[in-house]
Amino acid sequence: MGTTSESETGATNKAGEAPEQVGLSTEAEGETTVTEEGTELERSIGLVGGIAIGVGTMIGAGIFVFPGLAAGRAGPAAAGSFAIGAVIALLVALPASELATAMPKSGGGYYFISRALGALPGAVVGISIWLGLVFATAFYLVGFGNYAAALLVEAGVNLGGVPIVIPMALVFGALLTALNLFGTENAAKLQNYVVGLLLTILVLFLSYGGLDALGVFGTQSTPETFFRFGPFPMVTTAALVFTSYLGFAQVATVAGDIKDPGRNLPLAMVGSVLIVAVLYVATIFVATSAFGSARLETFGETAIVEVARNFVGGTGALAILLAGLLATVSSANASILSTSRAVFAVSKDAILPKFAARMNLKYGTPHVALAMAGGPVLVLVALGEVEVLAEVASFLHLVMYGLMCVALISMRRDEPEWYDPDFRVPAHRPVAGIGAIASFGLILFMQTASQVIGLAIMLAAAGWYKYYAADVELKGVL
């Protein structure tokens, strides 16, 4: 990626203002560095870091919340529900990978959609995803507080009735925001370590559980009839569990930080979906083998903790609670990083005030964008009621996924001169077409409240664009 200037990538708003001038950037061994005048991000995240962002964002509900709920709806066929979700995720990840290698810029879906479909759809997606990620991050942090409290209780610590869930969520939210401020490389290292430990715990747990189900450690206990409730519930349950796959596109959102984006972006996005899919399917197999779907349903959102306790007692429960703690930390960390990059990209195009694109020259991070990511998150965490907002985040992500698929079809149809991706999707029309239909279709299975709030956010984003940035002209891509 060559050096860029504001005349190539910027935009002007209706007041005639332009975003802060983008100075020259220097490249060494594939990394863009920040100069005194510059607002480009340093490429400090490699392939492992990209996969860690994707996996770390996705590992969560699919293992620590959904097994009991999904098994209650579809029985052992819930494993098929997760497989269906993985196929849909791949149908979106492939178009996103092509777009990302053609436009390896921070902002991900916003950047792709604004350049392919226009400033208004891009602005609606960019602002909506900023807020959607804020809701999701708050949900992850409250989950962190719940897992931390449960882990302390399981370890025998007497909390004396002191409420610690929200305070711990607030403290860790502030710490993760500060960590991202002090350098993307520091946040990426934390993500690598956390995801590495998380995967180690999960692989050991699932390996033991799988061998137990196959009778290696005792009586064989493979699940009951696969289609216990018939095949249709497997499909409807896929709409519920698809939220477990919302995260792979966060890799594209931080594309401006990725080294060798032409190679690493597709590998990180597709690879993270495949890794997570294997873990999810294995989890349902192990869980339904341990208890059967009917009993597993009675455990609700703590089902996987009870499965681990069944295998190795309190030690197993502690290990899974620790894994849940790590999963929420990794999801929150990746989401804060992605949120700030979405704000950074939108503000560089003058759709948000230009000061949001300012860089901290010492650490090479967008400090104002990070504040606009972390600040609202802490407010939502303090309120504590974020469950519906988590599904709103899923709604807004699905809209973005569907539009990214449409953006690929548009780009391939028009083939502008600058469009030269390092990766091209084979059979792009059916892949992107099915991906768009599936993404928009899953929205129909959501709660009415989530649909209403999601639509309201999109309308508000469109209103902001019309009021503040209707005259913005996007001036190219590279």
List, as one string, the DSSP characters of 241-308: HGGGGTTTTHHHHTGGGBSSHHHHHHHHHHHHHHHHHHHHHHHHHHHHHHH-HHHHHHTGGGHHHHHH
Nearest to 304 by CA among 168, 318, 258, 234: 318
pLDDT for res 337: 80
Radius of gyration of the chain (CA): 22
pLDDT-based confidence at 291, cuts 50/70/90? confident
Q: Is the pLDDT of residue 329 over 90?
A: no
pLDDT at 21 over 50: no
pLDDT of residue 387: 63
Beta carbons of 257 and 189 less than 8 angstroms apart:
no
Question: Torsions phi, psi of 303, nearest 5?
Answer: -55, -45
Assess whether pLDDT exceeds 70 at residue 317. yes
Question: 115-124, 261-270, 326-335: lowest mean pLDDT where?
Answer: 326-335
Average pLDDT over residues 306-323: 88
**pLDDT at position 73:** 83
Its sign, for the CA torsion 371, 126, 184, 382, is positive
Q: Band the pLDDT of 276: cuts 50, 70, 90.
A: very high
Q: Which is nearest to 90 in space by CA: 334, 397, 401, 327? A: 401
Residues 134, 373: contact at Cβ < 8 Å?
yes
Which one has a higher pLDDT value, 335 or 121?
121
- Show the CA angle centred on residue 448, arms to residues 447 and 449, nearest 5°: 90
CATH fold of the domain at 6-468: Amino acid/polyamine transporter I (1.20.1740)
Element (H, E) at 33: strand 31-33
Mean pLDDT of the chain: 80
Most confident of 87-91, 253-257, 286-290, 374-378: 87-91
- What pTM was estimated for this model as a whole? 0.79
Q: Say whether pLDDT at 201 is over 60.
A: yes
In whole angstroms, what is the distance from residue 272 CA to residue 266 CA? 10
| 233, pLDDT greater than 90 | no
What CA–CA distance (Å, rounded) separates 281 from 290? Answer: 14
For residues 195 and 16, which has the higher predicted lDDT (pLDDT)? 195
Q: 336-382, pLDDT tens digit by residue?
A: 888 888 888 888 888 888 888 787 777 777 788 888 888 888 888 88
The answer to whether 61 and 254 are in contact (CB under 8 A) is no
Query: Confidence class of residue 83 from pLDDT cuts 50, 70 and 90?
Result: very high
Report, as an integer, the average pLDDT of 127-151.
Answer: 84
